Amino acid sequence: MTVVTGIPNYPQGRFLKGYGWFRRRKECYEGVRIIRLPIIPRGKNPLMLVFNYFSFVISGFFWKSFTGVRADQVFIFEVSPMTQALVGVWYAKRRKIPCCIYVQDLWPENVEAAAGVRNRRILGCIDKMADYIYRNCDMILATSQKFVQRIEERKAAFTESGDSKVKFWPQYAEEFYQPAEKKPLADLPEDGIFKIVFTGNVGYAQGLDILPDTAVKLQEKGIRCRFVLIGDGRYREELEKSFAAKGVSEMFCLLGRKAPEEIPFYLAACNVAFISFADNPLFSMTIPAKLQSYMACGMPILAVADGETKRIVEEAGCGWVVPMGDAALLSETIQSIMKDYESVRSDMGQNALAYYRTNFDKMQLLDQMEKYWSEHESV
Residue 8 CB neighbours (<10 A):
16
| pLDDT confidence of residue 273 | 98
| pLDDT confidence of residue 327 | 96
Tell me the per-residue pLDDT of 47-96, one tens digit each, with 9 for 90 and over: 888 899 999 999 999 999 999 999 999 999 999 899 999 999 999 999 99
Domain with CATH 3.40.50.2000 in the chain: 2-171+362-378, 194-359
Tell me the per-residue pLDDT of 234-289, one tens digit each, with 9 for 90 and over: 889 999 999 999 999 999 999 999 999 999 999 999 999 999 998 888 889 999 99
Can you tell me the distance from the alpha carbon of 300 to that of 135, in angstroms, rounded to the nearest whole number? Answer: 41
274: left (phi over 0), alpha (psi -120 to 50) or beta: beta
Q: For residue 267, which of 208, 200, 187, 179 has the smallest C-alpha distance?
A: 179
CATH architecture of 2-171+362-378: 3-Layer(aba) Sandwich (3.40)
Task: Domain 194-359: give its CATH code.
Answer: 3.40.50.2000
Can you tell me the distance from the alpha carbon of 75 to that of 59, in angstroms, rounded to the nearest whole number? Answer: 19
The b/e string for 253-278 (b: 16+ C-beta within 10 A; e otherwise) is bbbebbeeeebbbbbbbbbbbbbbbb
Q: Angle at Cα 68 formed by Cα 62 and Cα 70, nearest 5°?
A: 115
Count of H helices and E strands in the chain? Answer: 12, 13
Per-residue pLDDT of the chain (379 residues; tens, 9 = 90+): 999 999 999 877 889 999 999 899 999 999 999 999 999 998 888 888 889 999 999 999 999 999 999 999 999 999 989 999 999 999 999 999 999 999 999 999 988 877 777 889 999 999 999 999 999 999 999 999 999 999 999 999 999 889 999 999 999 999 999 999 999 999 998 888 999 999 999 988 899 999 999 999 999 999 999 999 999 988 899 999 999 999 999 999 999 999 999 999 999 999 999 999 988 888 899 999 999 999 999 999 999 999 999 999 999 999 999 999 899 999 999 999 999 998 899 999 999 999 999 999 999 999 999 988 887 765 5
